[in-house]
Structure 1
Amino acid sequence: MQQRDTAALILVQGSAAVAFTNFKKLGSVLTADLFYTVSDANKTMMSAVLSASLPKTPNKVLPSPANITVKHIQSLVPQGVVSCVYWNGSAWVVDGCDVTQTNSTHTVCSCVHFSTFALIMQVERPPETNQMMELLNRITVSIGLGFLTLAVMTFALCRRKPQVNSTTRLNLCISLFLAQLIFLLVQEFIHLIRPHKIVCTVLSGVLHYLFLSCFVWMLLETIWLFHSVLGLKDIRSQQRIGPHWGFKCLIGYGVPMAVVVVSAGIMPDGYGSDRCWLNYDRGFIWSFLGPVCFILGANAVLFIIILILLHTALSQMQHSPTHNKRFRALVFKILVQSIIIGLPWILGFFTGSSEALDVVFLVLNSQQGTFIFLLHCVLNEEVRQQFWSCCSRGRAI
């Protein structure tokens, strides 16, 4: 015979009474495995089975949802998702019951009917390939963050040298560093952040802004490169051309801010998904994908024009061993520059179809800082001279 505790609650309106029965051992019979889900997950009973009924009341549907606070009988796993379920006669189902609040000891269920209830926790079983991708993501992003730090330090030293145009690249590195660092930390501690809805919402808005800022600075870098090649200048060394740095910052940081403010104003509940990112409901994700698609398309078109202009200029030069050497170096720099301006992000629209493609997408885009440091710091003669000059003055002091 099941051990149970029974209690009754008299409702203020009318003469109805709610009877609660707590079955302490019924969970060993009506197990969590009887809760069927699409994904393969480990399921655990998080509470005793609780029965709520309205004696002498034929209508079981409530005019408004009732909140029931249920105590946990086991520790809540950080990655676990708790569901309020009820017994429909053959299985545990969630129809009509939702989780409104939860903490380490209790969960509040909001139900539109009375029945036999329980709490079931699901912990996803990540595929081995996902675990490998998560590990690869941590490693590659950490390496990229290290080189972004070196690039920021190097460009900061060259700010006062007129021959080095580093404003766009410096701000691109700063935006990339903040976006990738916050994204990595959020995903690493998502189980701690997710229960705090406001924090999750704010972080998703910050990430939206930072990643949009990255793409705007990539567009500005492409426009600067196009302007350089159009003027038939040496792409390795440029004078300060184009708009003032303040105007660039207004575009690089102001345009993303305008997009985020408008998006939040139109659909404020679009931020704060389960992964603390943008919700896919009602197409809100296009507040990010729309600007990104436009920028990637513009960068691709400008990059093709740049290749045509360079090919025309090179075809008019006399061929020699020195020419061939410079041509190979130029091809290498063009390929690296295509990564810096974000063209590999186009692969993101095809990820999921191939594991190899997912790896290529992750490695290339996490290493933008590495390629920026390699091309515009290590292989840039003016930057090297400025760096060693600063180091020499430091040793002299």
Structure 2
Amino acid sequence: MLISFIAGINITLQEGCTEQTTLECLQNLFEQIENITVQELPVNTVMDILNMVFNTSEKILESLSSASPAELASYGNRVLQTSEKLISTLVKPTDTNDSVSFTLAALEVEVFMVGPHVTLKKIPRLETTNSSVDIDLIGIAKNNNLTRSAAVGFMSYVTMENLLKPDFFNTSNDTVKTMMSTVISVTLPKTTNTKLTKPVNFTFRHIREFDPNGSLSCVYWNISEWIVDGCSVLETNSSHTVCSCVHLSTFALIMQTSRAPESDSQLDLFNLVCVIVGLVFFSLALLTFALCQWSPGVNNVARINICISLLLAHLLFLLTQQFLNLIRPQQVLCAVISGLLHFLFLSGFVWMFIEAVLLFICVKNLSKISSKKREVLSSGFLCVIGYVVALVVVCVSVGLVPEGYGSEHCWIKTDKGFIWSFLGPVCIILALNVILFICIIICLNLSLTKLNADVSQLKTMACKTLGQFVVLGCPWILGVFTNNSKVLEVIFVILNSQQGTFIFLIYCVLNNEVRQQYRKLFRRLFCGHKKH
């Protein structure tokens, strides 16, 4: 296949290389480009040749899954050298200034040239989609006494990290290396004196999620590895990092993070079983609340909605994690799921707070809520609080940081402090629930000491109140202390996955009226089965 025949250039692919690309095809292509002696080429010709180089390289890369680091580095170096040579042919003499730019699927190029009569005091910032560079090209041109001219070539490689991997950044500590930027190259083609007059600044846009606990390094490529000599981080935020280097080369931004502890398959299985058991009891509790007849003074609104919110939240979270490999590539779907989880879990905590308030009022009065209070605490009013508060928090979060949803696990992202849109309200609710729980215990203790009648009933209420410690979500506080403690992690999983179980036990199994209705139901089913 003939790529170009201009001014004596004849770049062809070997016979058979169009159908099946091999290493020999790529090597032959590199050699033909290295033998080019023409100093200037049209932009379209350079684009055609570069397209062929990158298309061939990508096909070869698919078959290099088992290639050694040395082989990958070698191919990467050849691609860099080939690209830089072709870009240099775009530089042409100019009296003032000129520029060339183009974009390919795998490469973006900016070339800027200045001549002896340039009127600019500073050249514009050279920009590509994910990076930009500030260089004092005017000062460099002035240092070229004979020509008083200079040129800079700026290349941003979209897929180069597949060859020049972040793991080629050798450090003493055992960390996970992540390429946070596209790989870029900056050269001074056809410039005699390439000495920099001042450091060059690069701005990288992060192409992956930023970890606030990670360590960023501005690195350049040195034959077979990434090193930091002469480069430093000037400033960084969650989306961009500015690097400064005292020399030109091929650059990138690499983030180091601590290795995540290996997943405990037994603990994962235990967690899965606990969540499924919890979902079963949430469902049983909801069926009981819906089908059984309750005394007029019993207010189950908060308990029902705790079950609904947490049942849907745990079920959605469980399904998301089980099918994460299918969901994660769909970024919009992943973000929607994380927003929905945010709402469901948050509404669950709001309902826990409402339950704590209702329980405190009940214990304080040791009687049914008065009709006046019942108007204030009507079901409609409670539903507005239970769901609207959570909805407002989620809507405000979306408005302020719309990109905060959709982490790698389809949950809330931790950067920019966005996780506090969930942790903040939860911490406040847990603190209030703990205070209310302590007040409830104190009120019960006072009542038990003052009253002699119905002591057994009060003791039963005391037992139920202790069970309410789990129902009100207080064990979620253990999440702060579970780091590196398997015992606490197991306790945390058991208590917080079994809120439905505790609700079912306290309000269904331990309720005499409900037990009587269950007995009647089982008798009917048993008798009906016997008759058949």
TM-score (norm 1): 0.74
Offset, 1:152: 0.4
Residues 305-324 of structure 1: CA deviation (Å, up to 9, x unaligned): 111111111112349xx95x
Which residue of the partner structure matches residue 197 of structure 2?
none
Q: Report deviation, 1:329.
A: 3.9
Cα distance between partner residues in 2 of 1:204 and 1:189: 14
Q: CA deviation at 1:86?
A: 1.9
* CA deviations over 1:238-264 (Å, ceiling 9, x no partner): x97861111111111111111111110
Matched, 1:230 2:308: no
Closer, same or farther: CA 291–125 of 1 in aligned 2, 3 Å:
closer
Q: Map 1:36-51 to 2 at 5 A.
A: 51=79
Q: Secondary structure at the match of 2:164?
A: strand
Is 1:138 matched with 2:168? no
Q: Partner residue of 1:86?
A: 164
On the 8 A contact 2:166/2:179 being kept in 1, the answer is no
Question: Residues 302 and 354 of structure 2 are in contact (CA less than 8 Å); yes or no, is this contact kept in structure 1?
Answer: yes
Aligned residue identity for 1:28: A
**1:3 counterpart = 2:11:** no
CA–CA distance in structure 1, aligned partners of residues 475 and 166 of structure 2: 50
Aligned equivalent of 1:266, options 389, 392, 400: 400
The answer to whether residue 162 in structure 2 is matched with residue 28 in structure 1 is: no
Of 219-228 and 14-23, the range deviating more from structure 2: 14-23
Contact kept in structure 2, 1:163 and 1:382, CA below 8 Å: no
Q: 1:243 and 2:380 equivalent?
A: no
Report the identity percentage: 39
Distance 1:4 1:91 in 2: 30
Per-residue CA deviation, residues 203-222 of structure 1 (Å, 9 max, x unaligned), is 00000000001001101100
Give the corresponding residue for 2:308. Answer: 174
Q: Distance in 2 between matches of 1:383 and 1:163?
A: 15
Note the 1:1-397 alignment, pairs <5 A.
3-5=24-26, 6=29, 11-12=43-44, 18=50, 20=53, 22=57, 28-30=67-69, 51-52=79-80, 53-57=83-87, 62=110, 63=126, 64-65=128-129, 84=162, 86=164, 94=179, 96-97=181-182, 127=262, 130-158=264-292, 161-233=295-367, 243-318=377-452, 323=455, 329-387=460-518
Question: Partners in 2 of 1:33 and 1:152 — Cα distance?
Answer: 59
Q: CA deviation at 1:281?
A: 1.1
The 8 Å contact of residues 444 and 462 in structure 2, kept in 1 or not, is answered as no
Rate the CA distance shift 1:89–1:69 in 2: closer, same or farther, 3 A: closer
Distance across 2 between alignment mates of 1:67 and 1:61: 7
Counterpart contact for 2:109–2:156, Cα < 8 Å: no
* Higher mean C-alpha deviation, range 253-262 or range 386-395: 386-395
The change in CA–CA distance for 1:94 and 1:50 in structure 2 (over 3 A counts) is farther
Residue-pair matches, total:
350
> Match for 1:220: what amino acid?
I
Q: Is the 8 A contact 2:282 2:311 kept in 1?
A: yes
Question: Which has the greater radius of gyration?
Answer: 2
1:42 maps to what in 2?
Answer: none
- Whole-angstrom distance in 2 between the partners of 1:356 and 1:88: 37
1:375 CA drift (Å): 0.5
Contact 1:158–1:383 at 8 Å: present in 2 too? Answer: yes
1:157/1:387 contact within 8 Å kept: no
Q: CA offset at residue 332 of structure 1?
A: 2.9
Seen in structure 2, the aligned counterparts of structure 1 residues 26 and 362 have a Cα distance that, compared at 3 Å, is closer
Q: Are the equivalent residues in 2 in contact too, given 1:154–1:387 (CA < 8 A)?
A: no
Task: Label 1:389 to 1:114 Cα distance change in 2 as closer, same or farther (>3 A).
Answer: farther
Question: AA paired with 1:97?
Answer: T
**Contact 1:10–1:18 at 8 Å: present in 2 too?**
no
Mind listing any 5+ residue stretches in structure 1 that lack a counterpart? 35-46, 71-82, 102-112, 118-123
Distance 1:188 1:88, change over 3 A: closer
TM-score, reference length from structure 2 = 0.56
Q: Which secondary structure does the structure 2 equivalent of 1:382 belong to?
A: helix
Q: 2:333 corresponds to which letter in structure 1? A: V
For residue 172 of structure 1, report the CA deviation from its aligned partner.
Answer: 0.9
One-letter code of the match for 1:369? G
What displacement does 1:167 show? 1.5
Any conservation in 1 of the 2:72–2:163 contact (CA below 8 Å)? no
State the superposition RMSD in angstroms.
4.3
1:121 maps to what in 2? none
Letter in 2 for 1:54: E
Task: Please give the secondary structure, in 1, of the residue aligned with 2:407.
Answer: coil
Change (3 A) 1:232 1:96: closer
**1:267-326 deviation digits (Å, cap 9, x = unpaired):** 10010011101111111111111111111111111111111111111112349xx95x66
Structure 1: distance between partners of 2:445 and 2:72: 65
Distance 1:152 1:233 in 2: 25
Sort the Cα spacing of 1:89 and 1:366 in 2 relative to 1 into closer, same or farther, 3 A. closer
User: 1:106 aligns to what?
Assistant: none
| Counterpart residue type for residue 55 of structure 1 | K
SS across alignment from 1:86: coil
**Deviation at 1:359?**
0.8
Between stretches 201-210 and 279-288, larger displacement belongs to 279-288
SS at match of 1:54: helix
Give the Cα–Cα distance (whole angstroms) in 1 for the partners of residues 481 and 496 of structure 2.
Answer: 14
Give the whole-Å Cα distance in 2 for the aligned partners of 1:115 and 1:27.
25
CA distance in 2, matches of 1:13, 1:56: 9
Question: Are residues 10 and 287 of structure 1, via their aligned partners in 2, closer, same or farther at CA, if it must alter by over 3 Å?
Answer: farther
Instruction: Supply the distance in 2 between the matched residues of 1:308 and 1:16 (Cα, whole angstroms).
Output: 82
Look up the equivalent residue of 1:285 and give its one-letter code.
I
Other structure's SS at 1:258 match: helix
In structure 2, distance between residues paired with 1:359 and 1:222: 25
